Structure 1
């Protein structure tokens, strides 16, 4: 069984909060790459993001490194976004061929269930690393739903609720036969 689980969706859906709540229950989580990259760029006095293609390539390199660092786990590990998220960005920028994307998808598989956090306007905020509008968050959410499905993943929408309720929902699915 592949114990690498992706948590994805649009910006501001609660992915980082869910990762923290999972950590409190003893689960290993892998933070998203984009926030770290943006923080580093801002600290260096650069714009938050380079052009979309360069940004997506940088995220992809980081996500692949994180994936490879976690060789074999016999218990669930949760990724705040996965390699496929970066591939989506590169596909949107028309920076990779379908064949190249397919090779990446087969080299870096995740569990067949992908947890999709829906846009949630009541909790949506912007900050120095998240400058997208709520409408852009909705677009990314829909894109992720379609993208992961196209690559054979089952997207499971996590209902809105407290972080504990959302984590319980996810773990119920992870631990079911």
Structure 2
């Protein structure tokens, strides 16, 4: 994968975590992160049409399931319960897709759950930290910067743009904390973003 640095306009600190007993990565588990409404899901959908294996965004799935079942684990109702449901799904996603052959693209990861917890000032369990340390993805992560001109919200995404920017900043800190390198995806068309990503994912 290319060594392009991620550029930021505010100070940040690199954190690196040395861990033991990491789960063996059988393929390249390639993560997309960033704030909401930055274009991650559009790129995921385009990759699917090109035949790539993609793991869904757990946050949206949790919301859809909770609404369908009249549950309360929703980000606008019970943030901690919502976070805990996302944690379960991210762990399940990781273990399901890690046994597949070939590369897998993830619309967020367990590290995003940690970042969400920091953003919302939720208590963070030792279990969540351990998951972030041991469920390892490819060391280079694609981050989608805030992009006001394409940002929109809907029934499942209720954040405004300022919250999207704050989420982005938390994801920067979270991924650096757990030793990942960030590659910023340029603000281009979906097709050009896909080409950029595929051109960066090399053996």
Fold-level match, TM-score > 0.5? yes
Q: Is 1:95 equivalent to 2:120 in the alignment?
A: no
Report how far residue 25 of structure 1 moved.
1.7
1:18-97 correspondence runs (5 A) = 18-45=43-70, 48-49=74-75, 50-92=77-119, 93-97=121-125
Change (3 A) 1:124 1:91: closer
1:89 & 1:161 partners in 2: Cα distance?
26
Residue correspondences, number: 175
Q: Is the 8 A contact 2:116 2:170 kept in 1?
A: no
SS of residue in 2 equivalent to 1:23? helix
1:1-177 correspondence runs (5 A) = 2-45=27-70, 48-49=74-75, 50-92=77-119, 93-97=121-125, 99-175=126-202, 177=203
What CA RMSD, in Å, does the superposition of the two structures yield over aligned residues? 1.8
SS of residue in 2 equivalent to 1:127? coil
Report how far residue 71 of structure 1 moved.
3.1
Q: Is the 8 A contact 2:87 2:128 kept in 1?
A: no
TM-score (ref. length: structure 2):
0.79
Q: Is the 8 A contact 1:33 1:62 kept in 2?
A: yes
TM-score (ref. length: structure 1):
0.90
1:106 & 1:34 partners in 2: Cα distance?
21
Unpaired stretches in structure 1, ≥5 consecutive residues: none
Unpaired stretches in structure 2, ≥5 consecutive residues: 1-24
Of Structure 1 and Structure 2, which has the larger fraction of its residues in helix? 1
2:129 & 2:86 partners in 1: Cα distance?
18
SS of residue in 1 equivalent to 2:54? strand
1:33 & 1:101 partners in 2: Cα distance?
15
